[in-house]
Amino acid sequence: MRAVTVIPGVAGSLRLLDDYPEPATEEGSILVEALAVGICGTDIEIIEGLYGEAPPGIDHLVLGHESLGRVVEDPTGTLQPGDLVAGIVRHPDPLPCPNCAVDEWDMCRNGMFTEHGIKALPGFARQRWRLQPRFAVGLDPELVEVGVLLEPTSVVVKAWDHIDRIGRRAEWQPRTALVTGAGPIGLLAALLASQRGLSVHVLDLVTEGPKPALAGALGATYHSGPLDQLGFEPDVIVECTGAPRVVLESMYRVAPTGIVCLAGVSSGGRTIDLDAGELNRTLVLENNVVFGSVNANRRHWDAAAEALARADHAWLSSLITRRVPLSDYAAAYSPGPQDIKVVLDFTA
From the list 18-26, 89-97, 153-161, 183-191, the region that binds Zn ion by CB under 5 A is 89-97
Residues 6+ apart with CB under 8 A from 196: 160
From the list 78-86, 103-111, 116-124, 172-180, the region that binds Zn ion by CB under 5 A is 103-111
Q: Which is nearer to Zn ion, 95 or 206 (CB)?
A: 95
CA-nearest of 301, 321, 267 to 131 is 301
CB of 172 to Zn ion, least distance (A): 29
Asked if 254 is part of the footprint of Zn ion (rule: CB under 5 A), the reply reads: no
Asked if 91 is part of the footprint of Zn ion (rule: CB under 5 A), the reply reads: no
Q: Which is nearer to Zn ion, 92 or 186 (CB)?
A: 92
CB of 94 to Zn ion, least distance (A): 9
CB of 101 to Zn ion, least distance (A): 8
Q: Which is nearer to Zn ion, 108 or 203 (CB)?
A: 108
What is the rounded CA–CA span in Å between residue 240 and residue 320?
Answer: 18
Among 34, 97, 246, 324, binds Zn ion (CB under 5 A): 97
CA gyration radius, the chain: 20
Q: Which is nearer to Zn ion, 105 or 124 (CB)?
A: 105
Among 43, 66, 83, 93, binds Zn ion (CB under 5 A): 93
CB of 154 to Zn ion, least distance (A): 18
Q: Which is nearer to Zn ion, 98 or 225 (CB)?
A: 98
CB of 103 to Zn ion, least distance (A): 10
One character per residue 105-134, x = contact with Zn ion (rule: CB under 5 A)? ---x--------------------------
Among 36, 54, 84, 100, binds Zn ion (CB under 5 A): 100
Asked if 178 is part of the footprint of Zn ion (rule: CB under 5 A), the reply reads: no
CB of 163 to Zn ion, least distance (A): 23
Summarize as ranges the residues that interact with Zn ion (CB under 5 A): 93, 97, 100, 108
